[in-house]
Amino acid sequence: MPSSVQALAIVMPLCLVLGAAACSGDDGSNPGTGPTTDTNVGPKFAYKAQTGARGYQAALTPDTIAAHQMSNMFLASVAVVSADEKAMDRLITDGGAEGVDAPTGEFECWERPEFPMWSFDLNFESCEPQGYEMGGGVSIEDHPSGPLLYSFNSFNIEGRTLGGTFALDTREGVDDSLFWGSYNTDRTNPGIGNEVQLGVGVDGATSGASWIGGSSIDFASRTWSMWGALTLRPEKREFTILHGGRTEADVAPDSPSADVVRNSLNWQECRCPTGGLSTYELDLRFDTLTLDLDDLEVDPDDVDEPTIDIAVDHIVTGTATIEYTGCGEQQITYDVGGTTIEVSNDVVVAATSFLCDTAEIADTERCLAIAGALRDVGSFQVSIPEADVLATAQAAVDEDFDGPWCLTY
Is pLDDT larger for residue 78 or for residue 3? 78
pLDDT class for 156, splitting at 50, 70, 90? Answer: very high
Q: What are phi and psi of 56, to 5 degrees?
A: -165, 165
**Cα gap 249→242, rounded to integer Å:** 10
Pairing outcome for strands 339-344 and 148-157: unpaired
Least confident of 21-25, 245-249, 315-319, 353-357: 21-25
pLDDT class for 409, splitting at 50, 70, 90? Answer: low
Cβ contact 228:243 at 8 Å = yes
Q: What is the predicted pLDDT for the residue at 155?
A: 98
Q: Return contacts of 128-137, CB within 8 angstroms, 24+ apart.
A: 132/268, 132/408, 133/157, 133/158, 133/159, 134/80, 134/109, 134/110, 134/158, 136/161
pLDDT at 5 over 70: no
CB burial class (10 A; 0-12, 13-18, 19+) of residue 85?
Answer: middle
**Cα gap 43→409, rounded to integer Å:** 65
Q: What is the predicted pLDDT for the residue at 357?
A: 79
Pairing outcome for strands 277-292 and 261-264: unpaired
Helix (H, G, I), strand (E, B) or coil at 308: strand
**Cα gap 354→357, rounded to integer Å:** 5
Residue-averaged pLDDT of the chain: 87
Q: What is the predicted pLDDT for the residue at 2?
A: 39
Cβ contact 254:264 at 8 Å = no
Is pLDDT larger for residue 314 or for residue 7? 314
Q: What is the pLDDT of residues 305-341, one digit of tens each?
A: 888 899 999 999 999 999 999 999 998 888 888 999 9
Give Cα separations from 115 to 103, 121, 215, 361 (angstroms): 16, 11, 26, 81
Q: What is the predicted pLDDT for the residue at 265?
A: 94
Least confident of 7-16, 116-125, 246-255: 7-16
Average pLDDT over residues 98-112: 88
Q: What is the predicted pLDDT for the residue at 293?
A: 87
Is pLDDT larger for residue 37 or for residue 273? 273
Q: What is the predicted pLDDT for the residue at 232?
A: 96
Least confident of 1-5, 45-49, 63-67, 397-401: 1-5
Closest by CA position to 124, among listed 166, 91, 158:
158
Q: What is the pLDDT of residues 184-222, one digit of tens each?
A: 999 999 999 899 999 999 988 999 999 999 999 999 999
Question: Hey, which bits of 8-69 come out as E strands?
Answer: 50-52, 55-60
Residue type, 211: W
Is pLDDT larger for residue 175 or for residue 302? 175
Question: Hey, which bits of 192-306 come out as E strands?
Answer: 198-202, 205-218, 223-232, 239-243, 261-264, 277-292
pLDDT at 14 over 60: no
Q: What is the predicted pLDDT for the residue at 30?
A: 46
Could you tell me what percent of the chain has a pLDDT over 90? Answer: 67
Average pLDDT over residues 225-230: 98
Q: What is the pLDDT of residues 344-393, one digit of tens each?
A: 989 999 988 888 877 777 788 888 888 888 988 989 999 999 999 999 99
**Cα gap 409→405, rounded to integer Å:** 10
Q: Return contacts of 12-18, CB within 8 angstroms, 24+ apart.
A: 13/364, 13/368, 14/365, 14/368, 14/369, 14/372, 17/42, 17/364, 17/365, 17/368, 18/42, 18/365
Average pLDDT over residues 33-62: 75
Q: Residue 323: CB partners within 8 Å, gap ≥ 6? A: 276, 277, 330, 331, 332, 333
Pairing outcome for strands 179-185 and 205-218: antiparallel
Least confident of 124-138, 356-370, 390-404: 356-370
pLDDT class for 116, splitting at 50, 70, 90? Answer: confident
Closest by CA position to 162, among listed 195, 199, 191, 121:
199
**Cα gap 58→317, rounded to integer Å:** 13
Cβ contact 232:289 at 8 Å = no
Q: What is the predicted pLDDT for the residue at 245?
A: 96
pLDDT class for 105, splitting at 50, 70, 90? Answer: confident
pLDDT class for 21, splitting at 50, 70, 90? Answer: very low
* Beta bridge partners of residue 310, listed in sequence order: 289
Give Cα separations from 227 to 16, 158, 305, 337, 401 (angstroms): 72, 24, 55, 28, 20
Average pLDDT over residues 275-279: 97
Q: Residue 333: CB partners within 8 Å, gap ≥ 6? A: 320, 321, 323
Q: What is the predicted pLDDT for the residue at 10?
A: 33
**Cα gap 387→337, rounded to integer Å:** 8
Residue type, 178: L
pLDDT at 4 over 50: no
**Cα gap 50→70, rounded to integer Å:** 40
